[in-house]
Amino acid sequence: MTFTSAEPVGPDTLERAAGLMRDRVKAAELTDVEVTVEEKRQITVAGPAESEESLKALGAPAELAFRPVLSQLPTQDKGTCGAQADASPSQPLRACGEQQGALSTYELGPVAVPGTDVSDAAADVDAARGGGWFVTLEFTSAGAKKFADVTGRLAQQTPPQNQFAIVLDGTVVSAPSVSTAITGGTAEISGDFTPQEAEELAANLDTGALPVRLRVSSVTTVPASQG
């Protein structure tokens, strides 16, 4: 599988991206996977054919941010959402998100807590709630303070402005309401995750966002040897 950059970048940037992808391989405990930079212009990921989706996930941007919800409107389909392709952290953002099977368009405020304030991420399963998988996040000391401050402010608002959107690569993956300041220095991303999806998400968040946006340019499948 070959990844190329969506925009022109230097070989040093590709090397940093490949290094993070190798870290993701270790964090997700993938086996027989090799990440290399070819000709200083593309990243090649080699691994078992049955792990194709996991290999693709290695190239996800994994840009995480927490933004306050300004408004939330029901939406029939993603084609009518009008989500923005990108926005500065200091600017509002329009994004789509599906919660409990219902799609919504969210108008979000500027980033209140960036993904760089997350120090650790791990996949876990909640046996008490039917065995659903989720991802726990632990903040740095600075991130924990920001999170406590903003959740304290949101708790004083009325719905939907008491919600805190967790935005991953431009999509709202969760938008829980807040009733009181959250001071424990941790947060949770819940969703309809499979064990594999939760592990991959945790691995990507734990290693941090890639320095460049990648796209899959080719996939080659080699038949298993016979004999």
pLDDT tens per residue across span 139-182: 999 999 999 999 999 999 999 999 999 999 999 999 999 999 99
Whether 130 shows a pLDDT value over 60: the answer reads yes
Looking at every residue in the chain, the average pLDDT score rounds to 92
Radius of gyration of the chain (CA): 19
Q: pTM for the complete prediction?
A: 0.89
Residue 83 has pLDDT above 70, yes or no: yes
The arithmetic mean of pLDDT across residues 216-222, rounded, is 83
pLDDT band at 227 (very low <50, low <70, confident <90, very high): very low
d(CA 143, CA 23): 23
Residues 97, 104: contact at Cβ < 8 Å? yes
Q: At what angle do helices 11-27 and 195-207 cross, to 10 degrees?
A: 140
Is the preceding omega at residue 160 within 30 degrees of 0, hence cis?
Answer: yes
